């Protein structure tokens, strides 16, 4: 049975392999196999978050973006400018429920500028 490594070390190892040019799919499969082998599949979400933080620390930022309509090129440019990363990878989700505006989730921070949030805040402003 392989030695038990911390999530941070696992994330650092995987990010180093990906940035060194190893195929992403192979690295991810290796990481998944390790988690299965060590019985830590419950930590998958946390490992993914650590991976994103490790990538962000090396200038590769993965941003989750939720909008009501698909992002236009100019909107993407503004988001990239906001993230301030040399390599930004957007994970776009179109959700009509947000009605309008944008929600951006970056490693370690979250911004919600959707109409849905404003309406929820209005509803929550009860006396």
Partner 1 sequence: MVTQFASAQTEEKADILTSLGIDWTLLGLQLVAFLILVWLLGKFVYPVFLKIVDERQAKVEEGVKAAENAEKKAGEAQAKIEESLKTARSEAADIVSTAKAEATRMIEKAETDAKKRSDRIVAEAHESLEKDVIAARKALHNETLNLVAQATEKVVGKTVSSKVDESLISAAVKEAK
Nearer of residues 60 and 83 to partner 1, judged by Cβ:
83
How far is C-alpha 23 from the geometric centre of its chain's CA atoms?
19
> What secondary structure does DSSP assign to 70-111, as a single string?
PPPHHHHHHHHHHHT-SEEEEEEEE-GGG-SSEEEEETTEEE
State in angstroms the smallest separation of the CB of 88 from partner 1.
Answer: 13
Which residues 22-51 are close enough to bind partner 1 by CB under 8 A? none
State in angstroms the smallest separation of the CB of 119 from partner 1.
Answer: 5
Nearer of residues 18 and 103 to partner 1, judged by Cβ:
103
Q: How many CB atoms lie within 10 A of CB 110?
A: 10
Residue from the set 75, 87, 90, 105 that interacts with partner 1 by CB under 8 A = 75
Residue from the set 17, 71, 90, 105 that interacts with partner 1 by CB under 8 A = 71
Element housing 12 (H / E)? helix 7-19
């Amino acid at each position: 049975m392989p030695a038990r490594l911390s999530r941070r070390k696992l994330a650092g190892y995987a990010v180093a392999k990906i940035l060194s040019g190893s195929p992403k799919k192979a690295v991810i499969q290796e990481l998944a196999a390790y988690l299965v082998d060590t019985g830590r599949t419950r930590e998958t979400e946390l490992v993914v978050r650590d991976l994103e933080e490790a990538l962000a620390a090396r200038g590769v930022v993965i941003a989750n973006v939720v909008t009501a309509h698909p992002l236009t090129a100019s909107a993407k440019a503004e988001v990239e400018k906001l993230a301030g990363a040399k390599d930004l990878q957007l994970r776009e989700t179109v959700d009509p429920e947000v009605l309008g505006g944008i929600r951006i989730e970056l490693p370690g921070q979250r911004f919600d500028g959707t109409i849905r949030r404003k309406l929820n805040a209005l509803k929550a402003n009860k006396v």
